[in-house]
């Protein structure tokens, strides 16, 4: 009897999912945050988790929702995930995760889903668990809810520059603005202001018991090259370690040499490589 080793996972498999996420707390952070908040009942969240189970033990998982995120994905698991997902229309806006799994998955899914808008094959994954040795910028602080209007143009500029499309194009930016406001309300967004203008911003986009992942790091173009980023990131890392999680993680495009120098000065070390496929 032929059995397919892929199945959707629910609450009875929660321990198995958490075991896989704990084995790679940085690649699995996005999923770990959702599982902690919503559990594994797919109708309570915005995606589903599938497990690769060739025997009596789930070995790999993949999150399928707005993003496609494989975790602990072995080569046989990637092949099985691709067989399942390639038979369905694409619903995700990106594939994100450990580079080897993401690129293998995309090689298999590309013929079914068509061309990607962009493929970023090497994004160093960086982690730190100690306060930076460089001085923190005392003017970098948490953004207040009353300052979302000042923050929003900077957030739009960052997103457009990083992703390559504007977050305003689908619904005029209403959904993106809600996300920006939620992060501010949750005390996850940092900025430095010059008057009413945001000249630096960063956010703790993901928080788990093991790590917090920094995303959306941005310096206003007129302030670049002045050394602002190092002190600003030192402030973010110091506060996040003190207040939020035992480690701070992030991933960066390999060609962004300036940002990589900032992260190195702030004490980040390599934890592997991510890849991202954007649609």
What's the average pLDDT block by block, 10 residues per block, for the chain (279 residues)? 76 94 95 91 80 90 95 95 94 96 97 95 97 97 97 95 88 91 97 96 97 97 93 98 98 95 97 97
Q: For position 203, what pLDDT does the model report?
A: 98
Q: For position 171, what pLDDT does the model report?
A: 86
Rounded CA-CA distance 250/258 in Å is 15
Q: For position 3, what pLDDT does the model report?
A: 57
Rounded CA-CA distance 63/73 in Å is 11
pLDDT in tens, 17-32: 999 999 999 999 999 9
Q: Residue 68, exposed/middle/buried by CB under 10 A (0-12, 13-18, 19+)?
A: buried
Q: For position 1, what pLDDT does the model report?
A: 39
Backbone angles phi, psi at 228, to 5 degrees: -65, -40
Q: For position 172, what pLDDT does the model report?
A: 85
pTM of the model: 0.91
Number of H helices, E strands in the chain: 8, 12
Q: Are 26 and 211 in contact (CB under 8 A)?
A: yes
Q: Are 9 and 49 in contact (CB under 8 A)?
A: yes
Q: Are 116 and 163 in contact (CB under 8 A)?
A: no
CA 41 to chain centre: 22
């Amino acid at each position: 009897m032929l059995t397919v080793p892929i199945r959707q996972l629910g609450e009875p498999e929660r321990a198995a999912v958490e075991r896989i996420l704990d084995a790679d707390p940085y690649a699995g952070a996005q999923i770990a945050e959702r599982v902690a908040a919503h559990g594994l009942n797919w109708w309570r969240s915005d995606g589903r988790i599938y497990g690769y189970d060739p025997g009596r033990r789930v070995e790999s998982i993949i999150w399928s929702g707005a993003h496609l995120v494989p975790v602990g994905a072995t080569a046989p698991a990637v092949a099985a995930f691709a067989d399942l997902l390639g038979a369905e229309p694409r619903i995700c806006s990106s594939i994100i995760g450990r580079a080897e799994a993401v690129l293998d998955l995309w090689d298999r899914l590309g013929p079914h889903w068509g061309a990607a808008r962009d493929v970023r094959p090497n994004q160093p994954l960086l982690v730190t668990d100690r306060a930076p040795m460089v001085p923190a910028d005392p003017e970098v602080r948490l953004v207040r809810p009353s300052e979302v209007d000042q923050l929003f143009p900077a957030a739009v500029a960052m997103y457009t520059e990083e992703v390559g499309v504007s977050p305003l194009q689908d619904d005029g930016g209403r959904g993106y603005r809600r996300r920006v406001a939620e992060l501010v309300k949750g005390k996850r967004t940092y900025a430095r202001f010059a008057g009413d203008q945001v000249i630096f911003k960063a956010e703790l986009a993901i928080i788990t018991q093991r790590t917090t992942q920094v995303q959306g790091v941005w310096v206003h173009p007129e302030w670049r090259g002045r050394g602002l980023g190092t002190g600003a990131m030192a402030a973010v890392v110091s506060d996040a370690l003190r207040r939020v999680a035992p480690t701070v993680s992030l991933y960066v495009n390999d060609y962004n040499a300036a940002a990589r120098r900032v992260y190195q000065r702030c004490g980040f070390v390599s934890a592997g490589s991510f890849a991202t496929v954007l649609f």
